[in-house]
Amino acid sequence: MKVIILATAEEVGDHAARAIITGVSAGTISVLGVATGSSPLPIYRALAAHRAADLHTLTAYALDEYVGLPAAHPQSYRSVIDAEVTIPLGLDPDRVHVPDGSAVDIEAACVSYDLAIADSGGIDLQILGIGGDGHIGFNEPTSSFASRTRVKTLAPQTRADNARFFESIDDVPVHCITQGLGTIMEAKQILLVALGATKASAVAAAVEGPITSMCPASILQMHPDATVILDSAAASKLRLTAYYHYVAAHLPIWQR
Ligand code: F6R
């Protein structure tokens, strides 16, 4: 995994946004995987400042959605993606896809979501955040590394973490649809962002720990093109920090 440590959330957002804009301009990114939550917000903010770049041509797929919240609910991931991504980046709403958490046949909706991603040619770059327990998407610890898009039960801690977006923790849905770890691993490029000290243990386990379903993000060690962009607080429990800075200071000329 490539590890990039920057001082602030704003720098993390700018760095990630530049990588995305470069890929879009070069024609290597036409299908973007988008995450919700707080971590990617600096990326979306930086991207919105570059709307002139050809972002409106992008197709986007969200990682996950709550089960049972109507799409029009302000905290449904459909609404959140509309407000944080589709509108500010000027994407075509018809090309922004979010799993259907209100489908009558939820399991069929999960299968068709994976098929839709494949029909679009696969995800070129997947943006990820990470949970304090190491989840990516809503693949909680012990999720299968081979899993596909499916219904999962949110861990109580994840519901507690997300309660900040709702009036009460009782309003946070118990179930979600999430892309599986197998689905996420098929993205051609992965860009995981983590901000703040509450992510430091999960980041250290994901980057430097053993590959284990107890830390789902650790599977990214098996991805051929995964980059982790961290602020200094999220990087504070890494052991090889000096090495990551050394690598950044000695990039081969064609990577600068
Ligand atoms: C969101 C998602 C989750 C979040 C994670 C971190 O679509 O799939 O994995 O990325 O829970 O959330 P924040 O960024 O709010 O700390």
For residue range 73-99, list pLDDT tens digits in order.
999 999 999 999 999 999 999 999 999
Would you state the structure tokens that stand for residue 42, as one six-digit string? Answer: 């600096």
Q: Which residues of the chain have pLDDT under 50?
A: none
Kindly report the backbone phi and psi dihedral angles of residue 218, in degrees, each rounded to the nearest multiple of 5, phi listed first.
Answer: -65, -20
The pLDDT, as a whole number, for residue 21 is 94
Query: Among all chains, which residue has been given the structure tokens 């919105």?
Result: 48
pLDDT number for residue 54: 80
pLDDT the model gives residue 53: 65
- Protein residue with least CA distance to atom 2, ligand 1: 137
Q: Is the pTM of this model over 0.85?
A: yes
Q: What is the pLDDT of residue 52?
A: 61
pLDDT of residue 255: 82
Substitution site in 43, 63, 231 for ligand 1 pocket (most atoms within 8 Å of beta carbon): 63
C-alpha to C-alpha distance for 15 and 229, rounded to whole angstroms: 8
Q: Please report the pLDDT score of residue 10 as a whole number.
A: 97
Cα-based distances in Å from 57 to 17, 72, 91, 188, 212: 16, 25, 7, 18, 37
- Ligand 1: does its nearest atom lie under 6 Å from the Cβ of 136? yes
Residue 39 Cα, ligand 1 centroid: separation in angstroms?
Answer: 7
Ligand 1 atom with least separation from CA of 198: 16
- Euclidean distance between CA atoms 57 and 53, whole angstroms: 9
Alpha carbon distance 249, 48 (integer Å)? 29
Strands in 226-231's sheet, in edge-to-edge order, are 2-6, 226-231, 189-194, 125-128, 31-34, 59-62, 96-97
State the pLDDT at residue 190: 98
Question: Residue 106 corresponds to which tokens in the numbers above?
Answer: 């939820």
- Please tell me the residue having the least CA distance from ligand 1 atom 10: 129
- Residues involved in catalysis: 64, 133, 135, 140
* Ligand 1, atom 15, residue with closest C-alpha: 37
pLDDT of residue 62: 98
Expressed in angstroms and rounded, the spacing between residue 59 Cα and the centre of ligand 1 is 21
Residue 205 CA to residue 217 CA, distance in Å, equals 8
Decide whether any atom of ligand 1 lies within 6 Å of the 36 Cβ: yes
Six token digits for residue 243: 């090495």
Give the residue from 31, 5, 52, 53 showing the smallest Cα distance to 200. Answer: 5
Bridge-based pairing of strands 64-66 and 175-178 is antiparallel
- Measuring CA to CA, how many Å separate 31 from each of 95, 153, 249? 9, 28, 31
Q: Nearest residue CA, atom 8 of ligand 1?
A: 137
Beta strands in the chain (DSSP E): 2-6, 31-34, 59-62, 64-66, 96-97, 125-128, 150-153, 175-178, 189-194, 226-231
Cα(64) to ligand 1 centroid in Å equals 10
